[in-house]
Structure 1
Amino acid sequence: MKHKWIEDYLMTKNSVTRDFKTEWQWHRFLIMDKMFAAICVDKDGRNIITLKSEPSLGLSLRNQYSCIRPGYYMNKSHWNSVDLNGDVPDEVLKEMINQSYQLVLSSLSKSVQKEMLDRQKM
């Protein structure tokens, strides 16, 4: 995988935990038990990261980069999988990670978001 920085970057986000889903062989990155990223090897042997996105942005990115495809084993309009050996620039990948994190974070209740913010300040 050419993007060795990705796992470190994912873990810098507030309140992120990581687990390994044995039955899927996925390294999952979670906010309060809600997944916002997964790293795995797809059925074709490609190292991929799967991230949530706004549907229109996801479609635009798929049209722009051939190595971005609909989410592997995920909802095809809300999730995208990126071949980590493809040509997506690091900055684009960081923006995709940031958006995925924000989308999942915003789906949490306001009280949970406040609790996370309070923990971050400690």
Structure 2
Amino acid sequence: MDYQQARDYLLQKPETIEDYPFGPDVAVYKILGKMFATLGTEKDTDGKPQGRMNLKCDPTEALMLREIFSAVIPGYHMNKKHWNTVILDGSVPQGELKRMIDLSYTLVVKGLPKARRQGLMAKYGEQLE
């Protein structure tokens, strides 16, 4: 999954907005005002732009993913217990990246106030799970 594929998938999540509160270099993806992902680029060792994405994660799973994939590191500029940075270098399978994005989104939805969460469930149902 490259930068554009990641962006497209993030924007498919219900009620997601793309915002740039930190400037034009890092996109922030939010559900009802709560961030569930960031997406930006950095130069790789060859000087080419490479996507980097921050995703929320269960703390135990965050550690496990860091052990399995060298492209998953503690969340850059984030709470490293709850966030991972994923380097979009092609080493993490696309299905796994989608699963990580889905998990991040779901964790943030679960943390929304009950009334807002119920409103989303009424409107989107299984798409949120």
Deviation at 1:119, TM superposition (A): 4.2
CA–CA distance in structure 2, aligned partners of residues 42 and 108 of structure 1? 31
User: What is residue 71 of structure 1 aligned with on the other side?
Assistant: 75
Alignment deviations for residues 70-121 of structure 1 (CA, whole Å, 9 cap, x no partner) = 0010000100001111400001100100000000000001100122234448
User: What is residue 21 of structure 1 aligned with on the other side?
Assistant: 21
Contact 1:2 1:85 in 2 (8 A): yes
| Cα root mean square deviation, aligned | 2.1
Larger mean CA deviation between 108-117 and 67-76 belongs to 108-117
Alignment identity in percent?
36
CA–CA distance in structure 1, aligned partners of residues 54 and 24 of structure 2? 13
User: What is residue 34 of structure 1 aligned with on the other side?
Assistant: 34
Larger mean CA deviation between 53-62 and 35-44 belongs to 35-44
Q: What SS class does the counterpart of residue 4 from structure 1 fall into?
A: helix
Deviation at 1:26, TM superposition (A): 1.4
The one-letter code matched in structure 1 to 2:40 is: C
Deviation at 1:2, TM superposition (A): 2.8
Count how many residue pairs are aligned between Structure 1 and Structure 2: 121
What TM-score does the superposition give when structure 2 sets the normalisation length? 0.83
Q: Structure 1 unaligned runs (5+)?
A: none
CA–CA distance in structure 2, aligned partners of residues 14 and 49 of structure 1? 19
State whether structure 2 residue 59 is matched by structure 1 residue 55: yes
What TM-score does the superposition give when structure 1 sets the normalisation length? 0.87
Q: What SS class does the counterpart of residue 76 from structure 1 fall into?
A: coil
Alignment deviations for residues 4-58 of structure 1 (CA, whole Å, 9 cap, x no partner) = 3211111111111111124483100001111000001358764200000001111
